[in-house]
Every structure is written in structure tokens, then in C-alpha cells.
Chain A
């Protein structure tokens, strides 16, 4: 029976009432008395030396308070990188400076050159246009492989090359892996591109800096997924503000998808300028600015090889990936193609030897960092594509080939460092076969063919490492931060509870599902629990929300704090009932003494805690408030199996997704409705990547997909009704809730099944196409049907054309804001 309250109930999202009725309070809704507005002048060229910046005309314009350039930040730190990678030879990665405003050179279209603070946004924009930067244009590097050529122009003159690092993992496995390939009965090789994406949260980024000269207190309101991380990075590394004098507030945030994890220049600028000017300073990104200043995602070019023995057992896997870092290292950029990617290359399979090589490359493009899934979609895509290709080459059923190689015993130590605690890949595959009605596919294909369409079925498995992660482990891997989570549970005198969490909700529904957990543990109605998040002034130090970690890590912290509350409340109850503490039981919000009819209500105990007239003061303190920090001892490993059915129009190459089924193992589920919603959103973004979304630059480094005229976001019409099932469950063995995380699964698991399905459809129509690079637009599919060779191994993003719809119809691309 489905529950109607507490853990396991599909409680309606309480936050939606304010989101859907316009009562949310977003950063742009915050106006501080006396605030000024900043507009950034951004580079409209990809690479240039700054000769000088004439700001005199701008400074004289109406309303202008001050014009800032890179010179004003010479004594200020650069934006820090939060993760250091050690390369194959034991050397640290090359780490360039990342100034708040460009110094010496601009390195990508959108790089901020100057900032105008004025009384109004309009005045600031007018003045920004009057700034005359003297830019000596330099050749740009866009293509990653070309960027590594010996004579390539350097993005950073003080680095030895454009190579950030050359990472080998596990380096000790390299020789054995090569040997396994030499002995293989069959080797399947695939070169592919994981297309560059722009996250496009509905709410663009905003920052408001404020400074109180009387107290020396700084406040930053910002669109962030992790306000404490911003406070630490900006305070300690950029501006030198101790944390007790810096408050960071991330109120309602309208979507993040990873791109709001990072510490951005605009946040540091507004905080810095507020003090320099004695005025609050506000920045609101335009949508055009977001395209060229929000960190992008993905952008890998990979060669993957799979070795099999004569019985089709996987014997080894070898990959070589070029990963685009963009022009600077965004906060967690180096970790994405390495520890969030290489460690997942075993997938769901017993491949004994895996060797992953990643070359991270600087180019004259917007920095690339984590985007929903971050490294794990790239790993899943290449692995599940090469397995599908191997099945086709060997003439075996792609599901059978996967099954034959499934990991079946847990815990399982992979050859790529991580240990899977639990899982049941056969379980999710069985659910998939049933829910997707795979048996009925042949009949559906006939129906499609009768309509003149080719129909394809694509299946894939996925595994992800979530709940990021054990601090000790990530510290060894180069993280410059811990990755615990925190919670304070504050019980009020009259029994209501406020939970302050270090996690941050920007659409995930934490306020609902976290309340379910705490209410369930005590046996209270959910509306007696309120969840507070997003303000460093009233929440304990937390690491924020990303990597599907909030319930697994943040929820666990909440459980630990609530356990402390219950333990103390039982002591109080024991005193009130004059019973032994060990005999006290708590059920449905009532304390009882085992074997007696004595009872005392939750509210009587909480009142006693704050009005301690009859209270064991000699044993315990008054009050009922507890904090816990939870540091997990492993990642969690959600996994599943997905199936996609597509129709392909043989005349136009148009792909339509007819059916999509997701069978996930998320361990225990707190709110099935919210989980299903998370999977829906992930699937929309995964299908968007597979069929629609593409961030493209031309060879000069102009951003071509600079607006929604040319960057195709998935819409409801592009998606079928989803079938989502998370009934196959192997609870996580090491966190108290047994939960694994569900936020990224859809985006990780769906692209390969879409591409597998399209390839299958084309083969059914006699087109022996091995691979098409994402997005599988009608034009690309049609070209592939007509013999075009896919963009195999070419390092994107340089597009073959510089023509766009926006340029033609509106006159852009809008490279100036």
C-alpha cells in the first residue's frame, strides 16, 4: 500500500505553491536600498591582447559611478579552482590565473573586460558601449587537437602549452590492458563526440553585493547551489574576507543543473565593488550573457576500444579522451573528465582491465564544468555505445551481451578504484523488459513500417557514483574541499521543528522530502517540520547540492541530528514519566514506557525542554537542538536500464521518440512522485542532448549557438510520455536511509539508448550506419543515411559553417551585451 505520509509517501511539493503562484523570492527580486547596477563589457572576440582600455568617455556619461577594469583587481586573488589533478607523470595540472576582470588578454567571447557601475542598468549599459578597449586580435584555438599542436597559439602565455593535464587511470593497468587487447578475439573501436551543452536554467544568474561600513559585514545574494562553498572560495581565495564577516544568501533559485555550483567573477565583482563604492551593487545576467558566461557542459572527444574473448566476455576497455576546459579552469572543471568519469568506466560490467586516458585542453571558449551528470554521462555514453556496436559487429543480441557481462556479486571492487556496495542489474533489466514491452517491439516496428517509417529500439544500462562523497577519499583524489553535509534540527517549545540544512534546493523539492524524513522519524505530521536552506547566516557549514548528493548525504546528516534529538527527548520523557530511559519508546509522536500505560506527548517533552521546571538539569541541558555533520564512507551507486524506441522518417531524417522507459534502482525512495519528476527532467535533458542541443563555435571562436534561435532546447512536443519505474531496489548499504540519489540518472542514462535506437532504426532500413554524433538532428541523420561519414574523432566545437538563424533574422550573433 502506498503510504500517505512520511517516508515513501508521494507528498505534494509544498514549495510549488509559491513557485506556481509567483510568490517565490529569487535573487533578482532582492533590491537593497541605495543599490547601483553593474553591466559588464564582454569581449566580442575569442582571443586578443588588451593594449589599453579608454574608459574616459564612459566615465563622463550620465549616472556612471565608476568604471572598473582588470587593473582595479591587481591586488585581488583570482577565481580559484577547487580540484587539482595529478598527471600521468606525477606532475600537478597546469593551473592558469583567472582574474575577475580580464588582465592582459581576453580569452573567450564573453570574457569580461570592464565593468560599469551606474545608477541604473540602462545607464550602465549605455556607458559600457562607450568603452573603447584597444584589442589586438590573436589567432584563437578552438579545436582541441589543434590546440595541442606544437605551434598552436597559447591561451595562457605563461603556461608551457594548452595542455592542462594528461591523466592516466589506472596508470598501473596500462600495460596489462594493452596486452589484453593484443590477445583479444574481437576488438570494437568507436570514435565519438560528447557534444558541448549550455545548461540554460530558467533563471539567469544574478548577484547583489552589499557592505555595511559600520560593522564591516559583507553580504552577497547570489543564484547558487552552494552558498557556503561560495563564501569559502570567494572569502578565502579572492577577496580575503573572513567567513564570519561574509554572509552568502542563495534564496529561491530557478534551476541550476550544475552551472550554479561554481564561483563566478560577477559574484566577486559585486562583493568587491559594494565595499569600494559604499553602495550595494546588483548584476542581473541577460539571457545572451548567460550563453557566453555560464559554464558550459560536456565537450569530450573520445576514442573507445572494447576487447572481448571468443565467448564475448569483456576482457579490457581502453579510452582516450580530449576534454575541453575552455579558457580558464572553472571551480570543479578538472574533476569532471577524471574522477567523475574514469571511475565509472567499468559501468555495470565485469571488465577486469580498464585504462582511461584524458587530455584536458585549454581553448578560447567559455569554461566547461559540471552539468547534470558531470563526467558520468560521458562515461556511460561511450561505454554503452561501444557495447552496442560490438553486439552489432558480433551479430549478438545487445541485451544478452550486456547480461552476460553484468556484475552480479556485491560488494564489487572495480578496476577503476571504486567499490560498488550493492546493486542488481538483472533486476532493473527485468523491470525494463516488462515495462517497455520489449516483446512487443517487433509488432510495433511493423506498424511503423506500414506508415513508411523506420523504427528502432535502443537499450542501455548505466551506473553512476552519487552522494558525493567521502571527504577522505576525495581529498586523496585532489579535491580542495571536504564533501560532508550538515543539518541542525531545532525543536521549538511547542513541538514544531525547523531543520537548517547545508543542502540547497533549486527545484528538487527538498522542503517536502526532507520534512517527510524528519516527521517520519518522530511520528509527526509533515507540516510540523520546516526546512531552511540557502543562507550561511542561519545554516551550518554545508557543501550544497550537486552530484545527486542531497538526500544521501544531507538527508543522512538530518537523520543523525534527529537521532540525537530523539535520544535527548527520550531522556526528558523518562524523567517526566519517572521511568528508566531504556524503557522509553517513541511512536506516532508519543512517548510510552514499555509494558505500562504511561505516556507523554511530544509537545509535553518539547515544552519541558524549554520550560525546565520539572527537568533533569543535573544530567542534561535544557533546550532541544542538535547538529550533525555526516561524511559518508563511500559513494552511492544508483543504476538502471533504459529503453528508447524511435521512428525515423526516411525522407527527412527526422527522429521522433515514440516510447521511453526508465527502470532505475535508487535504493529506498522517500517521495516516489518527486523521484519520478526528477527522472522526467533528467530524461528531457538527456534526450535534448541526444537529439537537439548543441553549443557550437566557429573556427574564429565566435559562439554560433548564442540564443534560442539556434540553441534548441527540448520542449514537451519533443518528448513522449515516459514510463518510469524505480521498484527494483537494492538499498545503499552505508547510509542510514538506504538511499542512492536520483537527480542525474535520467540525463546520464538516456543519451545512449536514443542513439542506439536511431542506429537500430537505420539498420532496419538497410542503412549500415555505425555511428552519428549527437545531436542527431534531421540533417545529420539524413546525411548519414546518404553516406556521410560522421564527424569521427574531429575535435569539436568548431562548426563547419558560421551561419546562424539569429544572424540572419535578427542581426546577431549578439557578442556584446
Chain B
């Protein structure tokens, strides 16, 4: 990596001030650090967000669950166990223990990797992304691969999730990176079902509206038929056709897991 300076603010206000210049925010570093190690980025100054207490932790209230942007996947998995088991499952199966104990929900959402897990949970539950400047609905937040509604220097301070009647996450992993090859998050609310798919689309995480409609009428796996439209990712690990096919398979499995109350399943095992 190139040499850089690192700042470790302990308050959001300090972090904001530091990010006003040319600096780059550092969450858990699970993407940024490998990028730096390969000298593919030269940020000059990193502003580490992991020392900001007000951005950490999971709190449950009548309106749902709020997770601080600096909360690690492991902490989120633990804090979500009772409130939203499907989302806890998602968090508990990201990467491996080292990733889960460094990576953060805020970092993952801000990066918006098209194969990341958190975007599926946030979009599938209709979360609200809270930043230092405003609140953004998940439906408006994700704007394509690695593209979000965030402005330069804007920090994801928290994510608020409504509590569904049932939810689950089903993931087929890419065997090398263990990111989702395709994964589906399904959430049932009194007013309907939401389905978010990650890993599949060239446009990043997306809602599969046809499946949502069918499941809102009848929340059972059999009603998930057909395939989503749109350009799909094709790479060494799977063709576009394969990914398109997996959308329905993963969605059906997520529905089944939601009905069973198991939280989800992963091709990477228990």
C-alpha cells in the first residue's frame, strides 16, 4: 500500500470535520484495505470510524431495530437474534469470523458491492439509512453497483429496520470469495411481502416485484415461478442464465426458511 495518515476521531462531529477535506472514511476495511494493499487506491488520509461510540450497537424499540453504522456484522448478528432472526442469520453468515468481527454494516451499505449481503437485508426489509445529514429510504438508497444516494463525505450513522412478521435469507455462495453468487432476502409484513436479490444483477441489489406480488397473495414457496428481468452478472463463477435461475431457487428457499422460522440457509453450510 501507499503510505497514508490515519485519523481516529471519537465523535461523529470530529469525523465529519476530518472528512470535509480529501480524506477517505474507513469502516471495517474489508474492501478498502485489500484495495490499498494492491495500491489501487491512494487516499492520503483515512478517517477511521470504528472508535465512534455513538455509531455502535443495536437498539430495539417500538418502531423497530436501529443498528449503528459502525456496528460489526458479529455484533449485529448477536443483537438481532430475537428481534429479526432472518437478518441475524444474514449477518451471522457474512464472510468468516475475521470478516464479521471487522466489517461493519455502514461500510457494507456505503460500498454497495453488488454481491454483498447487507444490501439485500436493508432493501428486503425496507430499512431507513440514517446519515449524518438525513434519512434515506432503502428504496432510494441503492442506485446500482457501487452506487448509492450518499454524497461525498456523508456517513452512514445508523440503519433502522422495521420488524417483519417473518423473514429469512437464502444464500448460494461463490466458492472462492464466499460472497453471495445469488442470495435472496424475503420479508413478510402485514401489508405485503418484500423480496430483495443480491449477487445477481448488473444493477446491484434489486427488488423482485413479480415474486413480491405472488408472495403477498400467498406466502408459500410454490408461487415463486419465473425469473426476474434485467441484465445479470456473468463471470468466472456463473453465467447470467445461472444467476437468473438461482433468483427463484433462493427466493423459494428463503420463503421456506421464513415459514420454518429457521432464519435462512446457506450453501456454505450451517
Contact = CB atoms under 8 A, between A and B. Distances in A.
Contact of A710 (B40, B41, B176, B246): B176
A816 B235 CA distance: 22
B131 interface: no
Nearest to B253: A651
Interface string A673-714: 000000000000000000010101000000011001111110
A30 to B, nearest CB: 24
Interface string B83-127: 000000000000000000000000000000111000000000000
A652 interface: yes
A129 B31 CA distance: 23
B92 to A, nearest CB: 15
Interface residues of B, number: 33
Main secondary structure of the interface of A (DSSP, over half): loop
A747 B181 CA distance: 28
B38 A801 contact: no
B176 A708 contact: yes
Contacts of A694: 236
Instruction: Specify which of A125, A652, A708 lies most central, judged by the most chain B CB atoms within 10 Å of its CB.
Output: A652
Contact of B176 (A782, A801, A805): A805
B172 A705 contact: no
Contacts of B233: 803, 808
Contacts of B237: 710, 777, 779, 805
Contact of B40 (A652, A779, A801, A814): A814
Contacts of A808: 113-115, 145, 233, 235
Interface in B211-270: 233-239, 242, 245-246, 249, 267-269
A717 B268 contact: yes
Instruction: Specify which of B38, B41, B179 lies most central, judged by the most chain A CB atoms within 10 Å of its CB.
Output: B38
B44 interface: no
A783 B176 contact: no
Instruction: Specify which of A711, A782, A816 lies most central, judged by the most chain B CB atoms within 10 Å of its CB.
Output: A782
A694 B236 CA distance: 10
A810 B35 contact: yes
B3 interface: yes
Interface residues of A, number: 38
Contact of A709 (B145, B177, B268): B177
Given A652-B246, A778-B172, A783-B239, A810 B40 contact: yes
B237 to A, nearest CB: 6
Given A652-B246, A709-B176, A711-B176, A811 B38 contact: yes
Contact of A712 (B31, B39, B175): B175
Instruction: Specify which of A692, A704, A710, A711 lies most central, judged by the most chain B CB atoms within 10 Å of its CB.
Output: A710
B34 interface: yes
6 contacts: A125-B39, A654-B267, A779-B237, A801-B236, A809-B31, A811-B41
A779 B177 contact: no
Contacts of B175: 692, 712, 718, 777
Instruction: Specify which of B31, B115, B245 lies most central, judged by the most chain A CB atoms within 10 Å of its CB.
Output: B245
A667 to B, nearest CB: 37
A712 B176 contact: yes
Contacts of A809: 31, 113, 115, 177, 179
Given A652-B249, A779-B242, A809-B177, 14 more contacts: A288-B38, A652-B267, A692-B175, A704-B236, A713-B176, A777-B238, A778-B242, A779-B237, A779-B239, A804-B236, A808-B114, A808-B233, A810-B34, A810-B40
Given A810-B40, A811-B40, A812-B40, A803 B176 contact: no
B245 A782 contact: yes
A122 interface: yes
Contact of A799 (B3, B177, B236): B236
A779 B179 CA distance: 15
B174 interface: yes
B38 A652 contact: no
Interface of B: 3, 31, 34-35, 38-41, 113-115, 145, 172, 174-177, 179, 181, 233-239, 242, 245-246, 249, 267-269
Interface string A775-817: 0011100110000000000000001010111101111101010
Contacts of A805: 115, 174, 176-177, 179, 235-237
Main secondary structure of the interface of B (DSSP, over half): loop
A696 B242 contact: no
Contacts of A778: 172, 181, 238, 242, 267
B95 to A, nearest CB: 12
B267 A710 contact: no
Contacts of B113: 808-809
A814 B37 CA distance: 10
Contact of A803 (B40, B234, B245, B268): B234
A654 B236 contact: no
A809 B236 CA distance: 14
Nearest to B174: A805
A777 B173 CA distance: 11
Interface string A550-571: 0000000000000000000000
Contacts of A692: 175-176
B98 to A, nearest CB: 13
B38 A708 contact: no
A654 B245 CA distance: 13
A654 B253 CA distance: 14
Contacts of A782: 242, 245
B235 A810 contact: no
A675 to B, nearest CB: 29
Contacts of B179: 805, 809
A778 B175 CA distance: 9
A709 B113 CA distance: 13
A810 B31 contact: yes
A426 to B, nearest CB: 37
Contacts of B145: 808
Contact of A812 (B38, B114, B174): B38
Given A710-B177, A778-B172, A810-B34, A804 B235 contact: yes
A153 to B, nearest CB: 25
Contacts of A705: 176, 236
Given A652-B267, A805-B115, A805-B179, A814 B242 contact: no
A712 B41 CA distance: 25
Contacts of B269: 717
A232 B174 CA distance: 44
User: Which 7 pairs of residues, A with B, have the shortest CB-CB distance?
Assistant: A803-B235, A712-B176, A779-B238, A712-B175, A811-B40, A814-B38, A709-B177
